[in-house]
Amino acid sequence: MEQNRRRFLQTSAGLALAASAPWVRAQPAPLKVGLMLPYTGTYAALGNAITNAFKLYVAEKGGKLAGRDIEYVVLDDESEPAKAVDNANRIVNRDKVDVLVGTVHSGVQAGMVKVARESGVLSIIPNAGFGAATGALCARNIFRTSFSNWQTIHALGKVMWDKGHKTAAWITHKYAAGEEMFGGFKEGYEKVGGRIVKDLWLPFPNVEFQALITEIAAAKPDAVACFFAGGAAVKFVKDYDAAGLKNKIPLYGNGFLTDGTLQAQGASAQGIYTTLHYADSLDIPKDKEFRLNYAKAYKLQPDVYAVQGYDAAQLLDIGLKAAKGDVKNQKAMVAAMEGVVIDSPRGKWKMSKAHNPIQDSYLRQVVGEQNKYVSVAWKALEDPARGCKMLV
Protein backbone atom coordinates (compact mmCIF):
# COMPACT_ATOMS: atom_id res chain seq x y z
CA MET A 1 0.00 0.00 0.00
CA GLU A 2 2.72 2.48 1.12
CA GLN A 3 4.85 1.36 -1.80
CA ASN A 4 1.99 1.90 -4.25
CA ARG A 5 1.41 5.35 -2.89
CA ARG A 6 5.08 6.22 -3.24
CA ARG A 7 5.14 4.94 -6.82
CA PHE A 8 2.05 6.97 -7.58
CA LEU A 9 3.65 10.14 -6.22
CA GLN A 10 6.74 9.52 -8.34
CA THR A 11 4.80 9.79 -11.59
CA SER A 12 4.25 13.27 -12.96
CA ALA A 13 0.49 12.83 -12.75
CA GLY A 14 0.89 11.85 -9.13
CA LEU A 15 3.08 14.86 -8.41
CA ALA A 16 0.61 17.22 -10.07
CA LEU A 17 -2.20 15.74 -8.04
CA ALA A 18 -0.16 15.84 -4.85
CA ALA A 19 0.54 19.54 -5.39
CA SER A 20 -3.15 20.32 -5.72
CA ALA A 21 -4.50 17.78 -3.25
CA PRO A 22 -4.99 19.28 0.20
CA TRP A 23 -4.49 15.92 1.92
CA VAL A 24 -0.94 15.35 0.56
CA ARG A 25 1.55 17.94 1.80
CA ALA A 26 4.95 18.07 0.06
CA GLN A 27 7.62 17.66 2.74
CA PRO A 28 10.46 20.18 2.45
CA ALA A 29 13.88 18.55 2.17
CA PRO A 30 15.89 18.43 5.39
CA LEU A 31 18.03 21.44 6.12
CA LYS A 32 21.71 20.54 5.83
CA VAL A 33 23.74 21.88 8.72
CA GLY A 34 27.50 21.56 8.27
CA LEU A 35 29.38 21.05 11.51
CA MET A 36 33.04 21.75 10.78
CA LEU A 37 34.74 21.36 14.15
CA PRO A 38 37.70 19.63 15.81
CA TYR A 39 36.84 16.08 16.89
CA THR A 40 40.46 14.96 17.35
CA GLY A 41 43.49 16.60 18.97
CA THR A 42 43.87 19.23 21.72
CA TYR A 43 40.49 20.85 21.04
CA ALA A 44 38.44 17.66 20.52
CA ALA A 45 36.47 18.10 23.74
CA LEU A 46 35.53 21.63 22.65
CA GLY A 47 34.17 20.44 19.31
CA ASN A 48 32.18 17.72 21.02
CA ALA A 49 30.65 20.09 23.58
CA ILE A 50 29.54 22.48 20.81
CA THR A 51 28.05 19.60 18.81
CA ASN A 52 26.25 18.13 21.83
CA ALA A 53 24.60 21.40 22.77
CA PHE A 54 23.66 22.33 19.19
CA LYS A 55 21.94 18.96 18.86
CA LEU A 56 20.34 19.35 22.28
CA TYR A 57 18.60 22.54 21.17
CA VAL A 58 17.37 20.90 17.96
CA ALA A 59 16.15 17.87 19.94
CA GLU A 60 14.29 20.18 22.33
CA LYS A 61 12.46 21.53 19.27
CA GLY A 62 11.41 18.02 18.24
CA GLY A 63 14.27 17.57 15.77
CA LYS A 64 13.04 20.37 13.50
CA LEU A 65 13.80 24.07 13.13
CA ALA A 66 11.09 26.21 11.50
CA GLY A 67 9.37 23.04 10.29
CA ARG A 68 12.48 21.65 8.61
CA ASP A 69 14.10 18.36 9.57
CA ILE A 70 17.79 18.80 10.28
CA GLU A 71 20.47 16.72 8.60
CA TYR A 72 24.03 17.05 9.90
CA VAL A 73 27.11 16.91 7.72
CA VAL A 74 30.02 16.48 10.12
CA LEU A 75 33.66 17.20 9.31
CA ASP A 76 36.65 16.91 11.67
CA ASP A 77 38.84 19.96 10.96
CA GLU A 78 41.59 18.61 13.28
CA SER A 79 42.41 22.23 14.27
CA GLU A 80 44.64 22.14 11.19
CA PRO A 81 44.83 25.54 9.44
CA ALA A 82 46.65 24.10 6.41
CA LYS A 83 43.57 22.01 5.54
CA ALA A 84 40.98 24.65 6.41
CA VAL A 85 40.17 26.09 2.97
CA ASP A 86 39.97 22.65 1.33
CA ASN A 87 37.79 21.31 4.14
CA ALA A 88 35.46 24.32 4.06
CA ASN A 89 35.20 24.14 0.27
CA ARG A 90 34.38 20.46 0.50
CA ILE A 91 31.55 20.88 2.96
CA VAL A 92 30.13 24.00 1.28
CA ASN A 93 30.57 23.26 -2.42
CA ARG A 94 30.55 19.44 -2.58
CA ASP A 95 28.24 18.54 0.31
CA LYS A 96 26.24 21.72 -0.31
CA VAL A 97 25.34 22.49 3.28
CA ASP A 98 22.70 25.19 3.79
CA VAL A 99 24.44 26.56 6.88
CA LEU A 100 28.06 26.34 7.94
CA VAL A 101 28.65 26.02 11.70
CA GLY A 102 32.27 26.15 12.91
CA THR A 103 34.86 26.30 14.30
CA VAL A 104 37.05 26.37 17.40
CA HIS A 105 40.58 27.26 16.19
CA SER A 106 41.23 30.81 14.93
CA GLY A 107 43.69 29.69 12.25
CA VAL A 108 41.12 27.30 10.79
CA GLN A 109 38.47 30.01 11.09
CA ALA A 110 40.53 32.27 8.82
CA GLY A 111 40.14 29.70 6.04
CA MET A 112 36.44 29.26 6.74
CA VAL A 113 35.83 33.01 6.63
CA LYS A 114 37.49 33.12 3.21
CA VAL A 115 35.18 30.38 1.90
CA ALA A 116 32.13 31.94 3.57
CA ARG A 117 32.85 35.29 1.95
CA GLU A 118 33.44 33.72 -1.49
CA SER A 119 30.42 31.39 -1.42
CA GLY A 120 28.00 33.59 0.54
CA VAL A 121 26.93 30.59 2.67
CA LEU A 122 25.30 31.54 5.96
CA SER A 123 27.92 30.94 8.66
CA ILE A 124 27.75 30.77 12.44
CA ILE A 125 30.96 30.69 14.47
CA PRO A 126 30.39 28.85 17.78
CA ASN A 127 33.84 29.46 19.28
CA ALA A 128 36.91 30.73 17.39
CA GLY A 129 37.72 34.28 18.50
CA PHE A 130 39.53 35.27 15.25
CA GLY A 131 39.18 39.05 15.43
CA ALA A 132 38.89 39.72 11.70
CA ALA A 133 35.78 37.49 11.40
CA THR A 134 33.79 40.30 13.00
CA GLY A 135 36.41 42.97 12.26
CA ALA A 136 38.19 43.73 9.00
CA LEU A 137 36.65 40.67 7.28
CA CYS A 138 33.15 41.04 8.72
CA ALA A 139 30.32 40.14 6.34
CA ARG A 140 26.53 40.07 6.26
CA ASN A 141 26.47 36.24 6.12
CA ILE A 142 28.94 35.67 9.01
CA PHE A 143 27.73 35.64 12.63
CA ARG A 144 29.38 34.65 15.89
CA THR A 145 27.74 33.35 19.08
CA SER A 146 30.93 33.13 21.14
CA PHE A 147 33.45 35.99 21.55
CA SER A 148 36.35 37.82 19.96
CA ASN A 149 39.74 36.85 21.38
CA TRP A 150 40.24 40.43 22.59
CA GLN A 151 36.93 40.30 24.43
CA THR A 152 37.84 37.29 26.59
CA ILE A 153 40.89 38.87 28.16
CA HIS A 154 40.40 42.63 28.03
CA ALA A 155 39.10 42.74 31.61
CA LEU A 156 41.85 40.55 33.07
CA GLY A 157 44.56 43.23 33.31
CA LYS A 158 42.49 45.37 35.65
CA VAL A 159 41.55 42.33 37.74
CA MET A 160 45.25 41.49 38.21
CA TRP A 161 46.24 45.10 38.90
CA ASP A 162 43.49 45.42 41.52
CA LYS A 163 44.91 42.32 43.23
CA GLY A 164 48.24 44.12 43.51
CA HIS A 165 50.19 42.50 40.66
CA LYS A 166 52.30 45.27 39.13
CA THR A 167 54.28 43.02 36.78
CA ALA A 168 53.29 39.95 34.80
CA ALA A 169 54.72 37.29 32.50
CA TRP A 170 52.63 36.05 29.57
CA ILE A 171 52.60 32.57 28.04
CA THR A 172 50.56 30.99 25.22
CA HIS A 173 50.57 29.06 21.95
CA LYS A 174 52.02 30.92 18.99
CA TYR A 175 49.08 31.20 16.59
CA ALA A 176 46.35 33.67 15.65
CA ALA A 177 44.33 33.30 18.87
CA GLY A 178 47.40 33.43 21.16
CA GLU A 179 48.64 36.58 19.47
CA GLU A 180 45.27 38.31 19.61
CA MET A 181 44.77 37.39 23.25
CA PHE A 182 48.21 38.74 24.08
CA GLY A 183 47.24 42.00 22.35
CA GLY A 184 44.00 42.19 24.34
CA PHE A 185 45.72 41.45 27.63
CA LYS A 186 48.58 43.91 27.00
CA GLU A 187 46.16 46.69 26.10
CA GLY A 188 44.06 46.22 29.25
CA TYR A 189 46.95 45.62 31.66
CA GLU A 190 49.21 48.44 30.49
CA LYS A 191 46.32 50.90 30.47
CA VAL A 192 45.92 50.50 34.25
CA GLY A 193 49.71 50.65 34.88
CA GLY A 194 50.79 47.01 34.64
CA ARG A 195 54.10 46.01 33.05
CA ILE A 196 54.68 42.80 31.08
CA VAL A 197 58.21 41.66 31.88
CA LYS A 198 58.31 38.56 29.69
CA ASP A 199 56.22 37.01 26.93
CA LEU A 200 56.71 33.32 26.16
CA TRP A 201 55.40 31.31 23.21
CA LEU A 202 55.35 27.73 22.00
CA PRO A 203 54.07 26.29 18.72
CA PHE A 204 50.48 24.97 18.68
CA PRO A 205 49.70 22.27 19.84
CA ASN A 206 53.03 21.61 21.60
CA VAL A 207 52.70 20.94 25.36
CA GLU A 208 56.36 20.74 26.40
CA PHE A 209 56.08 23.55 28.94
CA GLN A 210 59.03 22.75 31.21
CA ALA A 211 61.70 25.08 29.78
CA LEU A 212 59.28 28.00 29.62
CA ILE A 213 58.06 27.46 33.18
CA THR A 214 61.72 27.61 34.27
CA GLU A 215 62.02 30.96 32.46
CA ILE A 216 58.95 32.25 34.31
CA ALA A 217 60.49 31.28 37.65
CA ALA A 218 63.71 33.10 36.73
CA ALA A 219 61.89 36.27 35.64
CA LYS A 220 60.08 36.52 39.02
CA PRO A 221 56.98 38.43 37.87
CA ASP A 222 54.26 39.25 40.40
CA ALA A 223 51.86 37.01 38.45
CA VAL A 224 51.39 35.05 35.19
CA ALA A 225 48.66 35.50 32.59
CA CYS A 226 48.03 32.97 29.85
CA PHE A 227 45.74 31.53 27.20
CA PHE A 228 45.46 27.75 26.93
CA ALA A 229 42.41 25.61 26.22
CA GLY A 230 41.36 21.96 26.07
CA GLY A 231 44.04 19.32 26.55
CA ALA A 232 46.82 21.93 26.64
CA ALA A 233 45.10 23.81 29.48
CA VAL A 234 44.87 20.61 31.52
CA LYS A 235 48.58 19.92 31.13
CA PHE A 236 49.75 23.51 31.65
CA VAL A 237 47.87 23.95 34.94
CA LYS A 238 49.22 20.62 36.22
CA ASP A 239 52.80 21.32 35.11
CA TYR A 240 52.73 24.82 36.65
CA ASP A 241 51.65 23.33 39.96
CA ALA A 242 54.15 20.45 39.75
CA ALA A 243 56.96 23.00 39.20
CA GLY A 244 56.08 24.47 42.60
CA LEU A 245 54.98 27.88 41.24
CA LYS A 246 51.27 27.77 42.00
CA ASN A 247 51.62 29.35 45.45
CA LYS A 248 54.58 31.58 44.56
CA ILE A 249 53.52 33.31 41.34
CA PRO A 250 49.72 33.30 40.98
CA LEU A 251 48.40 32.03 37.65
CA TYR A 252 45.60 33.85 35.77
CA GLY A 253 44.07 33.50 32.34
CA ASN A 254 40.95 33.85 30.32
CA GLY A 255 38.48 31.22 31.44
CA PHE A 256 39.40 28.63 28.80
CA LEU A 257 42.22 27.71 31.17
CA THR A 258 39.74 26.08 33.55
CA ASP A 259 36.54 25.51 31.53
CA GLY A 260 35.63 21.90 30.77
CA THR A 261 38.96 20.87 32.31
CA LEU A 262 38.50 20.87 36.09
CA GLN A 263 37.93 17.17 36.56
CA ALA A 264 41.27 16.44 34.91
CA GLN A 265 43.13 19.31 36.61
CA GLY A 266 42.01 18.42 40.14
CA ALA A 267 43.86 20.13 42.99
CA SER A 268 46.24 21.94 40.62
CA ALA A 269 43.47 24.31 39.48
CA GLN A 270 42.06 25.22 42.90
CA GLY A 271 41.80 28.97 43.52
CA ILE A 272 42.69 30.12 39.98
CA TYR A 273 40.97 33.35 38.90
CA THR A 274 39.90 33.80 35.28
CA THR A 275 37.66 36.07 33.20
CA LEU A 276 35.05 34.73 30.78
CA HIS A 277 31.50 35.26 29.54
CA TYR A 278 30.25 32.19 31.43
CA ALA A 279 30.54 30.72 34.94
CA ASP A 280 29.28 27.57 36.65
CA SER A 281 27.15 29.13 39.35
CA LEU A 282 25.17 31.86 37.62
CA ASP A 283 21.80 32.61 39.15
CA ILE A 284 20.01 32.55 35.79
CA PRO A 285 16.90 30.35 35.30
CA LYS A 286 17.77 29.72 31.65
CA ASP A 287 21.18 28.41 32.74
CA LYS A 288 19.73 26.11 35.39
CA GLU A 289 17.36 24.59 32.86
CA PHE A 290 20.14 24.23 30.27
CA ARG A 291 22.51 22.56 32.73
CA LEU A 292 19.89 20.07 33.84
CA ASN A 293 18.92 19.15 30.29
CA TYR A 294 22.53 18.89 29.11
CA ALA A 295 23.52 16.71 32.06
CA LYS A 296 20.49 14.49 31.50
CA ALA A 297 21.22 14.07 27.79
CA TYR A 298 24.97 13.55 27.95
CA LYS A 299 25.84 12.56 31.56
CA LEU A 300 28.31 15.45 31.49
CA GLN A 301 28.41 18.98 32.88
CA PRO A 302 28.18 21.66 30.19
CA ASP A 303 30.87 24.31 29.76
CA VAL A 304 31.32 27.58 27.89
CA TYR A 305 31.71 25.75 24.57
CA ALA A 306 28.37 23.99 25.05
CA VAL A 307 26.69 27.33 25.76
CA GLN A 308 28.08 28.80 22.55
CA GLY A 309 26.92 25.78 20.54
CA TYR A 310 23.44 25.98 22.06
CA ASP A 311 23.25 29.67 21.16
CA ALA A 312 24.38 28.93 17.59
CA ALA A 313 21.32 26.69 17.22
CA GLN A 314 19.10 29.32 18.87
CA LEU A 315 20.36 31.95 16.44
CA LEU A 316 19.80 29.72 13.43
CA ASP A 317 16.26 28.98 14.63
CA ILE A 318 15.47 32.69 14.88
CA GLY A 319 16.77 33.32 11.37
CA LEU A 320 14.96 30.34 9.87
CA LYS A 321 11.66 31.23 11.50
CA ALA A 322 11.84 34.72 10.00
CA ALA A 323 12.41 33.16 6.56
CA LYS A 324 9.67 30.55 7.16
CA GLY A 325 12.25 27.80 6.83
CA ASP A 326 13.52 29.00 3.45
CA VAL A 327 17.29 29.27 3.85
CA LYS A 328 17.53 30.72 0.31
CA ASN A 329 15.83 33.82 1.68
CA GLN A 330 19.07 34.88 3.32
CA LYS A 331 17.97 38.51 3.40
CA ALA A 332 15.12 37.72 5.78
CA MET A 333 17.32 35.45 7.88
CA VAL A 334 20.11 38.01 8.25
CA ALA A 335 17.67 40.79 9.06
CA ALA A 336 16.25 38.73 11.93
CA MET A 337 19.66 37.66 13.21
CA GLU A 338 21.08 41.19 13.21
CA GLY A 339 20.50 43.08 16.43
CA VAL A 340 18.89 40.01 18.01
CA VAL A 341 18.89 39.50 21.79
CA ILE A 342 19.71 35.88 22.61
CA ASP A 343 18.29 34.41 25.80
CA SER A 344 21.46 32.49 26.62
CA PRO A 345 22.46 30.34 29.60
CA ARG A 346 25.31 32.88 30.05
CA GLY A 347 22.72 35.66 30.45
CA LYS A 348 20.98 37.69 27.74
CA TRP A 349 23.31 39.09 25.09
CA LYS A 350 22.82 41.32 22.07
CA MET A 351 24.28 40.87 18.60
CA SER A 352 26.58 43.78 17.72
CA LYS A 353 26.51 45.56 14.37
CA ALA A 354 29.60 43.53 13.46
CA HIS A 355 27.70 40.28 14.32
CA ASN A 356 29.50 39.48 17.59
CA PRO A 357 27.97 39.14 21.09
CA ILE A 358 27.89 42.17 23.37
CA GLN A 359 28.17 40.42 26.73
CA ASP A 360 29.27 40.64 30.35
CA SER A 361 32.72 39.39 31.25
CA TYR A 362 32.61 37.53 34.56
CA LEU A 363 35.38 37.10 37.11
CA ARG A 364 35.35 33.45 38.26
CA GLN A 365 37.38 31.43 40.73
CA VAL A 366 37.94 27.67 40.77
CA VAL A 367 36.32 26.04 43.79
CA GLY A 368 36.13 22.24 43.65
CA GLU A 369 34.94 21.36 40.16
CA GLN A 370 33.29 24.72 39.55
CA ASN A 371 34.30 28.01 37.99
CA LYS A 372 32.43 29.94 40.63
CA TYR A 373 30.99 33.33 39.73
CA VAL A 374 32.73 36.11 41.71
CA SER A 375 31.59 39.36 40.05
CA VAL A 376 30.98 41.11 36.75
CA ALA A 377 34.45 42.17 35.64
CA TRP A 378 33.15 44.21 32.70
CA LYS A 379 29.51 44.97 31.93
CA ALA A 380 28.26 44.63 28.33
CA LEU A 381 31.73 44.36 26.83
CA GLU A 382 31.72 44.98 23.07
CA ASP A 383 34.55 44.11 20.72
CA PRO A 384 35.82 47.26 18.96
CA ALA A 385 35.37 45.46 15.58
CA ARG A 386 38.29 47.38 14.13
CA GLY A 387 38.06 47.64 10.34
CA CYS A 388 34.51 46.27 10.03
CA LYS A 389 32.76 48.17 7.23
CA MET A 390 29.25 47.17 8.38
CA LEU A 391 29.54 49.49 11.40
CA VAL A 392 28.32 52.57 9.57
Cα angle for residues 280, 282, 284 (degrees, 5° grid):
130
Could you tell me the smallest distance in angstroms from the CB atom of residue 47 to ligand PHB? 10
Q: Count of residues binding ligand PHB (CB under 6 A)?
A: 12
Could you tell me the smallest distance in angstroms from the CB atom of residue 261 to ligand PHB? 10
Stretch that binds ligand PHB, among 123-131, 156-164, 269-277, 355-363 (CB under 6 A): 123-131
Contacts of 275 (CB under 8 A, 6+ apart): 152, 153, 155, 156, 159, 254, 255, 361, 362, 363, 364, 377, 378
CB 316 within 8 A of CB 35: no
- Closer residue to ligand PHB in complex, CB, 105/158: 105
| CB burial readout 247-285, b (16+ within 10 A) else e | eebbbbbbbbbbbbbbeebeebbbebbbbbbbbbebebe
Contacts of 319 (CB under 8 A, 6+ apart): 122, 332, 333, 334, 336, 337
Counting contacts by CB under 6 A, is residue 104 touching ligand PHB? yes
Counting contacts by CB under 6 A, is residue 256 touching ligand PHB? yes
Stretch that binds ligand PHB, among 127-135, 206-214, 241-249, 378-386 (CB under 6 A): 127-135
Site map 332..371 versus ligand PHB, x via CB under 6 A? ----------------------------------------
Strands 167-174 and 223-227: parallel
Counting contacts by CB under 6 A, is residue 173 touching ligand PHB? no
Could you tell me the smallest distance in angstroms from the CB atom of residue 307 to ligand PHB? 12
Distance CA 327, CA 322 (A): 10
CB 77 within 8 A of CB 103: yes
Q: Which of 91, 229, 279, 377 binds ligand PHB (CB under 6 A)?
A: 229
Stretch that binds ligand PHB, among 31-39, 82-90, 100-108, 234-242 (CB under 6 A): 100-108
CB 274 within 8 A of CB 225: no
Rounded alpha-carbon distances, angstroms, from residue 305 to 54, 125, 256, 344: 10, 11, 9, 12
Stretch that binds ligand PHB, among 101-109, 112-120, 322-330, 351-359 (CB under 6 A): 101-109
Q: Which of 53, 91, 124, 128 binds ligand PHB (CB under 6 A)?
A: 128
Stretch that binds ligand PHB, among 69-77, 85-93, 115-123, 126-134 (CB under 6 A): 126-134
Residues 28-67 that bind ligand PHB (CB under 6 A): 43
Q: Which of 106, 134, 314, 352 binds ligand PHB (CB under 6 A)?
A: 106
Cα angle for residues 358, 364, 370 (degrees, 5° grid):
120
Positions in the binding site for ligand PHB (CB under 6 A): 43, 104-106, 127-130, 149, 177, 229, 256
